[in-house]
Structure 1
Amino acid sequence: MTSIKNILLDNGPMISSDLAKKVAASENINLNTASQRVSREIGLERLEGFFKSNQSLVFLPQQKEEGEILKFLAKQMELHGKKYWYVLNAVRYHSGMINKLFLETYANYPIAPVVSHLPFEEVLQKFVKENILIVNEKEFSFAPRLRYKGLNLFLSKTLEIIKLNVLDNFRNQAKNIGLVSYDSAELFGEYGNFRWAFKGVSPLDALKKGKDFGFVLGDILLGRPTYKKDIEFFIKKLEIIKTYKNASKIMPILLVDNLDHEGFMYLKEKGIIVGLISELFGDNYAKTLNDLITVLTNAAASLAKDPNKYLDLIAELRKYNDGLLKNIKGALFEYVAGHYYIFKGANIDMGWELYENNAMHEMDIRANFGDKIIIAECKARVAKTSISEINHWVRIKIPAFRTWITKQDTHKNKVIEFEYWSSSGYDSDALKRIEELKTEYKKNVLVFLGPKEIMVRAKEMKNKKLQNELNTFFFKSNV
């Protein structure tokens, strides 16, 4: 093995300039010669285009397989490519997946062309081209090559719903107290070529500049431990727009629920309002949100430890935040299915996203029994499940799940079963298709559950609280 590969083996992936310095020191050669050797070395992998002075991240092929790349990539981007690091950190902060609109707010990139700044679309294309991020419709997540272990699709999607609800409540509050003009408040508005989670025109005298009104601009960080480096994107956006000629006066506010002392003092130092959720909306509102996020953060462990906790939260949300309760109905319905599998003795995982058969596929629940695996699809909607949804599940998702299962040493010899849970049942065409599948589909057991079948399982569990919530919240009418 060459000295370059030995250095990478000992130190992990390295930025090319640092690697050249170590080669120069170990072989007693000048830096230019060492740099040329690094650039010509075969059998290495390189990630380029994100670092100052045309540097690259250099690593061994086996280091990619060991899942070490993201950790080193983030560290080197923070040191040598900070403008790209904000994108990477935003995805990491949000458990490995984020909607494009939110991502636009967390990266200090203009969403429209600005001199000396890359448009954000080009930045995203760069991440996708280099196979750092992948995109599924409007959702961005870490590419499989990075072997990211922190992906929590269930948490990521539900947190975005919670943040939208908090932003909507803040918008109403800002309008009601006259902080912004009634018709001007908007979510994900553009100001100064940047995206903001909240934007509103303010009639306050203190923000007027002559006859021109000022603006209230805000972003939100919620549901994760938040540190100084996580809020820097907000500071950078503000610093840039303040340099614009004839810029309006602004009132910046960052909505947060879990900010460390250093980050809090940093915002104060910069003259930014810290919008603590408990101060804005009250302790009961904040506590209910915190309890909900705690349950969501590790859904499987929460169900195993206190399987009725999510049912208690439904009752609390009904009192303090009924709008949010309705918006996260789908996530909570997955808890119903997970609750049953745990009752039956399974270990479960919730909210997986897999890349198989050249596409991303969301796996709602995987229940691992001693002799079999059950993979469940959960739908909680007002409309009945359609034939097109059933066909997509059978023709696209199940084959991808079967491919993935066969690659897992701990699963590949187990029986695989698939279950489809629909809180609203199935329309007539879907029911006909289900009857056809009973005779056509021979590869695995397929089970379809509507309200009646789900209630049978709840009664099997002898859980009155669950039965009540199924009738009053998840189902359209009593079963």
Structure 2
Amino acid sequence: MQILVANRFDKEAFVLLRRHGIIAATPANLFGREIADALNELTSVLANAASSLFDTERFEELFSTLGKIHGATNQLRGTLFEYLAAKMAERNGLGAIWMNRIFTAPDKRKAEVDIFALRHNHSVTAVECKGYSPRATIPDDLFKRWLQYNVPVAYKAMRDHPDYKNLPIGFEFWSTAPISEASMNLYEKAKSELNESRYTIALRGPRDVMRLCHQTYDQSLIDAFEKHFMLEDGTIPPDSRPPKALPPPSFEGATEEEWDI
């Protein structure tokens, strides 16, 4: 079943969709008027964010409303962190900020940079943002793709760009949840083997990100971060997390053959 969602449909479009067996629906049809209004306002809030007018308090209210949609909270948490991180980068002096830049290398491969920071005639910083629950662990495949694909592809694209090719380039991974021990080992190995005259890499785990947040001195930003990315007791998760231990095997009710007696 195919569904096309839009705020409104004219009569001709509606009839054409039905003719091809496609359901035309509006957010109000699917989720109710309260959720539909919140989605429309979220669009406005995020559009303002592109102009450095991000309203963290209003986003908080929308977060609570849209969290009623199953599965929406995780997506919204990631979106929230990207905008909080952009504010952190700007106020910590990383330079002019662009979000969600797509870089195309000479071989036509593409890589997205969540936050691109440029200090004119000084340096470039490309930040990957992962806004997860502090109880979660960043999936290994996401971290590995950033390290082994996004970084080298974006680097090649930047070195091919006339405005960036002679500037120092740094890639940073900002996360509100720990990475696994396996990812940490992968990172440390890559960092030890990296020729830093080409570019640098850095891992900013939950503690580093929290420090950057506090250094903005923006209380609404700090409150939003603490509410969604810290544990209930106020503690900050570690940079990496060991794998969960498997429970010991149970031999209750086992036969002699199973005990291999």
Return the TM-score normalized by structure 2.
0.72
Q: Check the 8 A contact 1:364/1:376 in 2, yes or no.
A: yes
User: Partner residue of 1:315?
Assistant: 61
| Rounded Cα–Cα distance in structure 1 between residues aligned with 2:26 and 2:164 | 43
Q: Which runs of 5+ in 1 are unaligned?
A: 1-188, 190-195, 198-218, 242-251, 258-274
How do 1:69-218 and structure 2 match up within 5 A? 189=1, 196-197=2-3
The aligned amino acid for 2:129 is C
Aligned partner of 2:5 in structure 1 is 220
Q: Does 1:359 align with 2:139?
A: no
Unaligned runs of 5+ in 2: 237-261
Partner of 2:228: 473
| Residue matched to 1:331 | 79
1:439 aligns with 2:192: yes
| 8 Å Cα contact 2:38-2:65 kept in structure 1 | no
Greater helix proportion: 1
Letter paired with 2:115: I
Secondary structure of 1:366's counterpart equals strand
Q: 2:97 aligns with which of 330, 348, 353?
A: 348
Q: 1:427 to 1:256 in 2, by over 3 A?
A: closer
Describe how 1:245-284 pairs up with structure 2 within 5 A: 254-255=25-26, 281-282=32-33, 284=34
Query: Match for residue 368 of structure 1?
Result: 118
Equivalent residue for 2:152, pick from 399, 414, 417? 399
Matched, 1:456 2:211: yes
1:238 and 1:389 map into 2 onto residues whose CA distance is 39
SS at match of 2:179: coil
Aligned mates of 1:348, 1:235 — CA distance in 2: 44
1:381 and 2:93 are equivalent in the alignment:
no
Q: Is 1:289 aligned to 2:39, yes or no?
A: yes
1:310 Cα shift? Answer: 3.4
- Percentage of matched positions with identical amino acids: 20
Deviations 1:232-279 (A, max 9, x none): 5542132456xxxxxxxxxx754168xxxxxxxxxxxxxxxxx5x8xx
Larger Rg: 1
CA distance in structure 2 between the aligned counterparts of 1:427 and 1:256, rounded to whole angstroms: 38
What is the one-letter code of the residue matched to 2:167? K
The one of the two structures with greater contact order (alpha-carbon pairs below 8 A, sep at least 6) is 2
Equivalent residue, structure 1, for 2:17: 237
Q: Give the AA of the match of 2:102.
A: E
* Counterpart residue identity of residue 50, structure 2: A
Tell me if the contact between 2:172 and 2:203 (Cα under 8 Å) persists in the aligned partners: yes
Q: Is the 8 Å Cα contact of residues 45 and 59 (structure 2) preserved in structure 1?
A: no
SS at match of 2:217: coil
Secondary structure of the corresponding residue to residue 461 of structure 1: coil
Number of positions where the alignment pairs a residue of Structure 1 with one of Structure 2? 225
1:418 match: secondary structure: strand
Distance 1:428 1:340 in 2: 27
Distance 1:465 1:388 in 2: 33
Distance change >3 Å, CA 256–CA 381, structure 1 → 2:
closer
Shift of the alpha carbon at 1:311? 4.2
RMSD over aligned Cα atoms: 3.0
Q: For 1:253 and 1:438, locate their aligned partners in 2 and report how far apart those are by CA, in whole Å.
A: 50
Q: Contact (CA 8 Å) 1:285, 1:321: kept in 2 or not?
A: no
Given residue 91 of structure 2, which amino acid in structure 1 is its aligned partner?
Answer: F
